[in-house]
Structure 1
């Protein structure tokens, strides 16, 4: 009788797995086998190596660690017509770093390779026509762009072109940053970009925020939206509005107020120290507290002017004059404040107070008892003056406009009053009053 097991035995036919799947599986197994365990590293993956002290000399600090590259939710996987050359090119031109060894197939093609660029991983492989995996050169051109952020886009794009890339779009500045576009030697399109430089923040003594106080905030949005083109977002309370779209300044409206003036937030390096100076100079200062937009102390000077001291989140205290900080832009755009006049009862007392609190300096202005305000590294921003002899403290702004004649017409059409524009040595001005009695000027160069 035949052995039933032998009768049922079938010959073994080796399976021929998909080569790309096999390569990826082998690479995943290799990584898992080589991955350090928590017992090996104390649960912390080492990122830098430092030389320890001993006979060779004192210890040296570890070099700053590169950002940890990892596979994100969306990771580019490129198909190229010469993967070994691409690995070298991306390393030489884009600063990429090898991530493990490429998985080589029996026919010499790269089945899978990875590079680290910044905190991201770039995967690539050779072409596999039998699997319809083809690079852009074979298909006739790229169908997507790889977006790459670098510290210096000009240098990277220039180096890429020197190394054989095609310049598809020269480097230029855009609202979202400075960028250029290249097509690499393997046909892939790269948009190389550097983020826009941060706008210099206000210096110690500058005006960081101005809030226009008036009776009816809804009427004010209609008026100033029509006259200056302001757009608004809700403020922190029902009476508040924030002006949107101004490139250099932060301005708001606050309704329900009888005294029509501006409430100013002055930037300081240390709110607590500045509040103490307010009290020492004869004013009043609330205990500083943190708001979502920064640390604030609301104050009143020794003549009844209300204002606030302000420090943005993350700002470290510096010198009392903000020495060494870049000066913010001084030219106001359409709808921004180009000049402020602090009208005060006694200019000598006001100069002494704000000189003590904000380190302001003063020089005589063009009119009697008029004074220009400076800080140690230049003009205040916005430019500011002071004028004495007034019944109560009031702050009067000059708003910059591109076409002063058209703006004067809009003031009158919106229910306000305006004088005819008059040429002055420093520009053209028109004195105005809005439809709720707030005084202001329009100005153009």
Structure 2
């Protein structure tokens, strides 16, 4: 099951647009709330209060049956021009959405042929909190059909069988009920300079995946940046 869309919180959408335009060069804002970004390989938006991730399903009722069978809950269901969607929580209370795309050709093309971002400002990685490893493997394996690599330092487990944006589990992370989002950049040092110039903050560190920083924007919204190491 692939990532369809994601949303970064934006207490003030206009401030968020100015910040991410400066930091990532995002442009083309639109949509009903004015925060849709259409210049990234994985379409995304700015708005709301928390990180949101939407995963593609071609049969929403069947997916929701699996959510319940694996200990998750359904918070609400919605429908608009994009299609039918459902806000759920997994079997440990982590929030996620499922999106069944409408018949619109552009929307279905994106849903059926997701792209893995390779440009500055594209999504690099999404991480789902997983307080208990066994429960997370049962839910995400059973509902999403995901398979995982071996657990790495800090409890990271990457999804092996996606063709769109990369993702994984943050095993042992009980601090959040929402996914974290990390963005690919050409230069972590230069991007962090722009973050700070725009009123945000962060500090550089190195990991096997590359040179990274967990940042905050000028409204306190958390996000990560990664200058990928060779092979990533």
Bin for the TM-score computed over the shorter chain:
0.7 to 0.9
Measured at CA, do residues 368 and 411 of structure 1 come closer, stay the same or move farther in structure 2, by a change above 3 Å? Answer: closer
Is 1:370–2:159 an aligned residue pair?
Answer: no
Is 1:297–2:81 an aligned residue pair?
Answer: no
- Cα distance in 2 for partners of 1:300, 1:423 equals 32
RMSD: 2.5
Is 1:253–2:46 an aligned residue pair?
Answer: yes
Q: Is the 8 A contact 1:344 1:391 kept in 2?
A: no
- Cα distance in 2 for partners of 1:290, 1:416 equals 35
Instruction: Give 1:418's aligned residue.
Output: 202
Instruction: Give 2:188's aligned residue.
Output: 404
- TM-score, scaled relative to structure 1: 0.46
SS of aligned partner of 2:148: strand
Alpha-carbon offset, residue 270 of structure 1: 0.9
- The unaligned stretches of length 5 or more in structure 2 are 105-110
Among candidates 142, 165, 172, match of residue 356 of structure 1: 142
Give aligned pairs, total: 221
Among candidates 165, 172, 191, match of residue 382 of structure 1: 165
- Cα distance in 2 for partners of 1:327, 1:244 equals 16
Is 1:392–2:185 an aligned residue pair?
Answer: no
Instruction: Give 2:107's aligned residue.
Output: none
Measured at CA, do residues 329 and 278 of structure 1 come closer, stay the same or move farther in structure 2, by a change above 3 Å? Answer: same
Instruction: Give 1:271's aligned residue.
Output: 60
Q: Is the 8 A contact 2:147 2:160 kept in 1?
A: yes
- Please show how residues 235-250 of structure 1 align to structure 2 within 5 Å: 235-237=31-33, 241-246=35-40, 248-250=41-43
User: Which structure is larger by alpha-carbon Rg, 1 or 2?
Assistant: 1
Q: Deviations over 1:48-71 (max 9, x none)?
A: xxxxxxxxxxxxxxxxxxxxxxxx
Measured at CA, do residues 314 and 388 of structure 1 come closer, stay the same or move farther in structure 2, by a change above 3 Å? Answer: same
- Cα distance in 1 for partners of 2:76, 2:217 equals 35
- Cα distance in 1 for partners of 2:101, 2:218 equals 34
- Please show how residues 18-417 of structure 1 align to structure 2 within 5 Å: 205-237=1-33, 241-246=35-40, 248-255=41-48, 257=49, 261-285=50-74, 290-314=79-103, 328-375=114-161, 379=162, 381-389=164-172, 390-417=174-201
Alpha-carbon offset, residue 278 of structure 1: 1.0
Alpha-carbon offset, residue 338 of structure 1: 0.8
Alpha-carbon offset, residue 275 of structure 1: 1.0
Alpha-carbon offset, residue 214 of structure 1: 4.1
Measured at CA, do residues 425 and 298 of structure 1 come closer, stay the same or move farther in structure 2, by a change above 3 Å? Answer: closer
Alpha-carbon offset, residue 388 of structure 1: 2.4
Alpha-carbon offset, residue 349 of structure 1: 1.5
Q: Is the 8 A contact 1:290 1:296 kept in 2?
A: yes
- Cα distance in 2 for partners of 1:242, 1:289 equals 18
Measured at CA, do residues 242 and 403 of structure 1 come closer, stay the same or move farther in structure 2, by a change above 3 Å? Answer: same
Alpha-carbon offset, residue 296 of structure 1: 1.5
- Cα distance in 2 for partners of 1:403, 1:227 equals 11
SS of aligned partner of 2:65: helix
- TM-score, scaled relative to structure 2: 0.83
SS of aligned partner of 1:230: coil
Q: Deviations over 1:69-126 (max 9, x none)?
A: xxxxxxxxxxxxxxxxxxxxxxxxxxxxxxxxxxxxxxxxxxxxxxxxxxxxxxxxxx
SS of aligned partner of 1:364: coil
